[in-house]
A and B are shown apart, each in its own frame.
Chain A
Amino acid sequence: MKYLMLVCVDPDFTPGPDDGTPDVNDWAGEMDGKGIRLMGDRTRPASAATTVRVRNREVLVTDGPYIETKDVIAGFDVLECEDLDQAIEVASRHPMAWTGVIELRPVWPWGVE
């Protein structure tokens, strides 16, 4: 099963010093090696985001993010996992799970009900 892993910052949480947070390069290396991480990257802050809508056949472009909240999404990864338990395990070992928060969204393939 594919999961989109949204890597987010948690503005309400300040991590303590040296709490054993894993290293992101170790994480990515391991998950790439196991064929679990299909792709992933950081995303630039919301100040670099562009929003696109088409209304009445007119393309409307605005600067900034669609979701009017804080700059929460910091990156994303696409995972191929056996099930949710494996995805949770993989996510819980990402450093941003320790200092921010991670959302797992199952991918909904076309043609599947």
Chain B
Amino acid sequence: MNRQLAEAYADGWSRIVATMVRLTGDWSLAEDCTQEAFAEALRVWPAGGVPDQPLAWLTTAARRRAIDRLRRAGMERAKLREVAMEPVPPPYVTDSDIPDDRLELMFTCCHPALSTEAQVALTLRSVGGMSTAEIARAFLVSEKTMGQRLFRAKQRIRHAGIPFRVPPPHLLPERLSAVLHVLYLLFNEGYSGQGRLCEEALRITRVLADLMPDEPEALGLLALMLVQDARRASRIGAGGALVSLQDQDRSRWDRARIAEGAALCERALRQGRAGPLQLQAAIAVCHATADGLDDTDWPQIVGLYTHLQKVAPSPVVDLNRAVAVAMASGPQEGLALVGAIDGLDGHHLLHATRADLLRRAGRHAEAAEGYRRALELAPTEAERRLLSDRLAASQRTGPRTGPPSGPPPAG
């Protein structure tokens, strides 16, 4: 019973919330009624059995609650009719009767007139069905603060007139990229700690990719997440230190996820509109399908980064490309490219990468200097530990016996 309810929740929360938002235009009411419908199911299903069409049952229950609330709030009959609530609507008979308004929900949650913080919180709550307390924990703020953030976001949607709809075609590319950005942000937030957020971001992105199969960047993001997530467990070693790509135990990677991601990536790229997410996915696939650093197709990765430089230029892309060049053609070539990068002086990855290349070139004293600088700038404890180990290694005299250093932890 609990399992069936959990399935209905995972499958139905966002669909029912979206339907209720469309019907009532009131986000808080939509969420409250959906929550009450699930609470009712928890009471009624154990005795009466799981209905044949659980989502239809839940949606009808949520709708009934909404009507009750609107009546109690003294809403005039005219207004009730206006929100399609009067007379009592016919119950949804089958689950497929429920309109799928989830895309509208996502685009509204990620509307550019909302702050990024609000977009993220609202997406987790309305689309992901996470509770306010869970979201608060994930972002290390109090439940009260998160509650206020969500409340203000919903209020802003209503007061500013943010529409509940998928934007028209001429706005779609930029709006879709905002949605993808929020989802990737969520995933990365989870990648550096809260695994639950990774799962959630993946689940929502899966829905999005399903709803927009002709948008290659949506497929690309899903592919990228799957491949990154396949390596999540092997990224953190004993004691919480970050394990770099070269040292990860590749037998612990989730091969099924990698294969799924690779297939999706190929399907996306076949549409002939290679965007930054597809290219990053393709690079991640190259890494994830190789048996080791020596078996990695570095020239191919260099080519993908060159393409990425064109569609989404950034110094971080330049840096990653320099690493790939160093792997393909030797550390000297890589160092020359790293030396030409502008705008990353305050970033630990630049210094760590340069130090890695210097170490490979046998310039140990300079490498140690670079690691020290990187250590000062590294933002997380896990990264500091990885860098301390590298610093210690670079200070040992004698030639290195281990494998060559890998790229910065881009994945």
Chain A contact residues, CB within 8 Å of chain B: 1, 3, 81-85, 87-88, 104, 106, 108
Contact = CB atoms under 8 A, between A and B. Distances in A.
A81 B162 CA distance: 11
Interface of B: 111, 113, 159-163, 167, 171
Given A84-B113, A106-B161, 6 more contacts: A81-B161, A82-B163, A84-B111, A84-B161, A87-B161, A106-B159
A83 B162 contact: yes
Contacts of A106: 159-161
Nearest to A88: B113
Contacts of B113: 84, 88
Overall SS of chain A's interface: mixed
A16 to B, nearest CB: 21
Contacts of A84: 111, 113, 160-163
A69 B334 CA distance: 51
A81 B163 CA distance: 11
Which 6 A-B pairs have CB atoms at the shortest separation, nearest pair first? Answer: A83-B163, A84-B161, A1-B161, A83-B161, A84-B162, A84-B160
Overall SS of chain B's interface: loop
A81 B161 CA distance: 9
Nearest to A89: B171
B411 to A, nearest CB: 36
A106 B163 CA distance: 13
Nearest to A85: B163
B353 to A, nearest CB: 36
B96 to A, nearest CB: 29
Contacts of B162: 83-85
Contacts of B167: 85
A82 B171 CA distance: 16
A97 to B, nearest CB: 15
A104 B113 CA distance: 11
7 contacts: A83-B162, A83-B163, A84-B111, A84-B162, A85-B167, A88-B113, A106-B160
B311 to A, nearest CB: 24
A103 to B, nearest CB: 12
Contacts of A3: 161
B160 A85 contact: no
Contacts of A85: 162-163, 167, 171
Contacts of B171: 85
Contacts of B111: 84
A49 B163 CA distance: 37
A84 B171 CA distance: 13
Nearest to B171: A85
A106 to B, nearest CB: 6
A93 to B, nearest CB: 13
Contacts of A82: 163
Nearest to B168: A85
A2 to B, nearest CB: 9
B384 to A, nearest CB: 39
Nearest to B175: A85
Contacts of B161: 1, 3, 81, 83-84, 87, 106
Contacts of A87: 161
Contacts of A108: 159
B109 to A, nearest CB: 14
Nearest to B111: A84
The CB with the most chain A CB atoms within 10 A, among B160, B162, B167, B171, is that of B160
A88 B171 CA distance: 11
A21 to B, nearest CB: 20
A88 B161 CA distance: 11
Contacts of B160: 84, 104, 106
